[in-house]
Amino acid sequence: MARTFSVAARAAGSAGGADAVQAHRHGGPDYEAPAELVVRKPEQLRALADELRSQVIQLLRDRAYSTQQLARELGLPKSTVAHHLKVLEHAGLIRVVRTRKVRAVTERFYGRTARLFLFHVEDPADERALGATVLRQAAREVEQASATAQFGHVKARLTAADAARLERRLRRLLDDLNAADTPGGTPFALVAALYGRAPDA
């Protein structure tokens, strides 16, 4: 059965051109992007299930990066980053949002193709792979966070009705966080996973 869910991470807002750059100076995005993109194609899901490409998508949340800037930020060779950018661009998840002439070379800056990705997943294996990638990304961010993180890991036996009710509540919470996103606000993140586990796990 197909399932649709979102990742609580926005890319750029709707401001354009000089207005977008001005918005970025005040804590907003620096390039244009549509509000949402439904991600359903197998090549898109595979692209986002990779940890490095997931990191790139997160870095492009609020500003555009060139290949060289991403390589420096990630501590990786430019050739490696360029390969992953091609995969993401081919999948329709990022695009060139502006260019800059550096001597005789045109430097390309990449941004996401939507502020919010909505994942429409039919294969449970794809869903698990995406979920695991998101949780690993969140774990890295928690380790690097300067403030205390509030967290919990609760296990319970639920009826099908209770599981569905809690899933709806989690979706509303993620939607509330996205709706509260404010340029110039303090950065926060929320990760949530409700999953069926092995009886002895």
pLDDT digits (tens, 9 = 90+) for 19-60: 343 334 444 568 888 888 999 898 998 899 898 999 999 899
Please state the pTM of the whole predicted model. Answer: 0.70
Query: b/e map of 7-17 (b: 16 or more CB within 10 Å)?
Result: bbbbbbbebee
**Number of C-beta neighbours around residue 171 at 10 A:** 15
Rounded to an integer, the average pLDDT of 169-194 is: 88
Q: Which CATH number belongs to the domain containing residue 168 in this structure?
A: 1.10.10.10
pLDDT digits (tens, 9 = 90+) for 101-112: 888 889 999 999
Residue 195 domain flag: no
**Percentage of residues in the chain having pLDDT higher than 70:** 85
Of 21-30, 69-78, 169-178, which gets the smallest average pLDDT? 21-30
Residue 68 domain flag: yes
Please answer whether residues 114 and 34 qualify as being in contact, where contact means their C-beta atoms are separated by less than 8 angstroms. yes
Residue 8 domain flag: yes
Residue 127 domain flag: yes
Residue 199 domain flag: no
What's the structural domain count of the chain? 1
Residue 197 domain flag: no
Q: How far is CA 95 from CA 40, 47, 55, 107, in A?
A: 18, 14, 16, 13
The boundaries of the domain holding residue 49 are: 3-179
Residue 90 domain flag: yes
